[in-house]
Amino acid sequence: MKAYGASDAVMQVKTATSGRLYSGLHSKHFKHRETLMQAIRSILVVMDPQQPEGLALKRAKLIAGVTQSHLHLLVCDKKADHSAYLTDQQSDLLHEGFQATIQQAWNEGLYQTIIAVQQAEGCGLVIKQHVPDNPLKKALLTPEDWKLLRYCPSPVLMVKTSTPWTGGIILAAVDVGNSDSEHRTLHSGIVSHGYDIARLANGTLHVISAHPSPMLSAADPTFQLKETIEARYREQCKAFQAEYDVSNERLHVEEGPADVLIPYTAQKLSAAVTVIGTVARTGLSGALIGNTAEVVLDALESDVLVLKPDAIIAHLEELVAQR
Q: Which tens digit of pLDDT belongs to each residue from 1-16?
A: 333 333 322 222 222 2
Beta bridge partners of 171: 206, 274
Q: Is the pLDDT of residue 268 over 70?
A: yes
Q: Is the pLDDT of residue 28 over 60?
A: no
Count other Cβ atoms within 10 Å, centred on residue 126: 27
Share of the chain above pLDDT 70, in %: 76
- Which residues are CB-neighbours of 123 under 8 A, at least 6 positions away? 6, 10, 40, 42, 43, 44, 72, 117, 154
pLDDT of residue 273: 96
CB atoms within 10 A of CB 101: 14
The Cα 119–Cα 153 span in angstroms is: 8
How far, in Å, CA of 68 to CA of 43, rounded? 10
Q: Work out the average pLDDT over 169-193.
A: 86
323, pLDDT greater than 80: no
- CB-based burial label for 177 (10 Å; 0-12, 13-18, 19+): middle
Q: Running DSSP on this structure, what letter comes out for residue 44? A: E
What does the angle CA 268 – CA 271 – CA 273 come to, to the nearest 5 degrees?
A: 150
Give the span between the Cα atoms of 195 and 143, in whole angstroms: 30
pLDDT at 10: 29
Per-residue HEC secondary structure of 19-32 comes to CHHHCCCCCHHHHC
Query: Rounded CA gap, 86 and 82, in Å?
Result: 6
Mean per-residue pLDDT for 205-227?
Answer: 70
| pLDDT for the residue numbered 74 | 98
Question: Would you state the pLDDT for residue 234?
Answer: 77
**CA 160 to CA 137: how far, in whole Å?**
12
Maximum alpha-carbon separation in the chain? 66
| Of 36, 269, 70, 62, residue with least CA distance to 164 | 62
- pTM of the prediction? 0.81
Instruction: Return phi, psi of residue 321, to 5°.
Output: -65, -30
Q: Which is nearest to 153 in space by CA: 117, 189, 182?
A: 117
User: Domains along the chain?
Assistant: 20-322 (3.40.50.12370)
Q: What is the spatial distance between Cα 136 and Cα 6, in angstroms, rounded to a whole number? A: 35
Residue 102: DSSP 8-state: E
Characterize the bridge pairing of strands 156-159 and 303-307. antiparallel
Q: In whole angstroms, what is the distance from residue 173 CA to residue 208 CA?
A: 5
Sheet containing 156-159: order of strands: 100-105, 70-76, 42-47, 125-129, 156-159, 303-307, 273-277, 169-173, 204-211, 251-255
16 neighbors 38 (Cβ within 8 angstroms):
no
The whole-number average pLDDT for the span 77-85 is 94
Which amino acid, residue 280?
Answer: A
pLDDT of residue 98 exceeding 50, the answer is yes
CB contact at 8 A, 253 and 177: no
What's the pLDDT band for 286 if we cut at 50, 70, 90? very low
C-alpha to C-alpha distance for 229 and 209, rounded to whole angstroms: 13
